[in-house]
């Protein structure tokens, strides 16, 4: 016998939509990781140039804004820290101090990507 209308949940199940958003984020994250690595290597080779820093900063900012919301707390926190320091890098042009943080962020991105199943959930959640 079905529940009376007043007792049925009126809150839609958003998990399928969130799973799709999470998968899309992971796909873009892989692309961002490759581009961020390329940008970091270009800065290593050519020095701090505004267009390189701006491009790197854009990737970091986007990861910072979304990662924690989708369940990647550590990645989100590291991206937020990196994002906050990107402004200082633009002003002081101290790439050496920033490079280690960018590398740590790239390593965390790779860890996140390596621990995901095809449906966007983490191996930890499925085992």
Residue 43 confidence (pLDDT):
94
Q: What per-residue confidence (pLDDT) applies to 86?
A: 87
Helix, strand, coil percentages, rounded to 5, for the chain? 80, 0, 20
Cα 43 vs. chain centroid, distance in angstroms?
21
Domains of the chain: 17-117 (1.20.120.160)
Instruction: Say if CB 108 and CB 78 are below 8 A apart.
Output: yes
Note if the pTM is more than 0.85.
no
- Give the integer Cα–Cα distance in Å for 71 and 114: 15
Report mean pLDDT in 10-residue bins for the chain, 127 residues.
58 85 93 96 93 94 94 95 86 82 94 79 46
**Residue 8 per-residue DSSP state:** S
Query: Can you give the pLDDT at residue 2?
Result: 58
What is the pLDDT, as a whole number, of residue 122? 60
């Amino acid at each position: 016998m079905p529940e009376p209308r007043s007792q049925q949940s009126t809150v839609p199940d958003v998990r399928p939509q969130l799973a799709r958003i999470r998968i899309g984020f992971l796909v873009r994250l892989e692309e961002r990781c490759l581009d961020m690595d390329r940008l970091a290597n270009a800065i290593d080779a050519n020095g701090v140039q505004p267009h390189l820093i701006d491009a790197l900063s854009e990737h970091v900012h986007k990861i910072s804004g979304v990662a924690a919301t989708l369940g990647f707390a550590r990645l989100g926190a590291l991206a937020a820290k990196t994002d906050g320091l990107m402004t200082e890098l633009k002003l002081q042009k101290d790439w050496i101090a920033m490079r280690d943080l960018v590398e740590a962020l790239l390593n965390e991105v790779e860890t996140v990507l390596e621990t995901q199943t095809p449906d966007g959930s983490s191996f930890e959640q499925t085992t």
